[in-house]
Amino acid sequence: MSLTLAIVGRPNVGKSTLFNRLVGKRLALVDDQPGVTRDLREGEARLGDLRFTVIDTAGLEDANDDSLQGRMRRLTERAVDMADICLFMIDARTGVTPTDQIFAEILRKRSAHVILAANKGEGSAADAGVIEAYSLGLGEPIRLSAEHGEGMNDLYSHLMPII
């Protein structure tokens, strides 16, 4: 049975880019429960010799500010409860935002295994944001560039003992 990794974080940090890199064209399962298809995507991931199921969370993109927090909480909790491991992604170029802090609080309260990833980590413009990520209280961030495929070795070494 393969373990499940959920990628969570606010819109536009690069979750789907990482999902696509891990899954490639092997997009396998789409939950067809009403309302679920749009919000959660599931695929079979490969990273080196590791095989696992990955969930991409979406569905927050079109929420206005009033409804964002509640939807975020519900969607994140649903993904986390489906998952064995949670990859929480921030945008290292932007640094930690108040929305990221809300996510971190949700995740700290769940017992799930959390891996923190600071994405868009290519180049020196990300240096400050990577350091800021420590302030989320979720341990050492993995510096990633989902778009350029950088940091995948660090992701591998974090997942390898778990998967």
Binding site for ligand GDP (CB under 6 A): 11-17, 119-120, 122, 145-148
Please check if 114 is assigned to a binding site: no
Instruction: Output DSSP code: residue 3.
Output: -
Q: Closest distance between Mg ion and the C-beta of residue 15, in Å?
A: 5
57 to 86: interface string for Mg ion, x by CB under 5 A: -x----------------------------
**Do 93 and 125 contact (CB within 8 A), yes or no?**
yes
Task: Pick one of Mg ion, ligand GDP, none as the site partner of residue 76 (Cβ within 5 to 8 A by kind).
Answer: none
First to last CA, the chain: 11
The reply to whether 16 sits near Mg ion by the rule CB under 5 A is: yes
Please check if 57 is assigned to a binding site: yes
Task: Pick one of Mg ion, ligand GDP, none as the site partner of residue 11 (Cβ within 5 to 8 A by kind).
Answer: ligand GDP
Where are the extended beta strands (E) located within 27-93?
40-47, 50-57, 85-91
Stretch that binds Mg ion, among 43-51, 56-64, 101-109, 155-163 (CB under 5 A): 56-64
Task: Pick one of Mg ion, ligand GDP, none as the site partner of residue 17 (Cβ within 5 to 8 A by kind).
Answer: ligand GDP
Question: For residue 81, what are its two tokens?
Answer: 């409860």
The reply to whether 20 sits near Mg ion by the rule CB under 5 A is: no
**What does the alpha-carbon distance between residue 61 and residue 120 come to, in Å, rounded to a whole number?**
19
What counts of helices (H) and strands (E) characterise the chain?
A: 5, 6
User: Rg of the Cα trace of the chain?
Assistant: 15
Cβ proximity to Mg ion: between 21 and 108 the closer is: 21
* 120: nearest Cα among 92, 99, 96: 92
DSSP string, 88-101: EEEETTT---HHHH
Q: Closest distance between ligand GDP and the C-beta of residue 18, in Å?
A: 7
Please check if 76 is assigned to a binding site: no
Residues making up the annotated binding site for GTP are 9-16, 56-60, 119-122
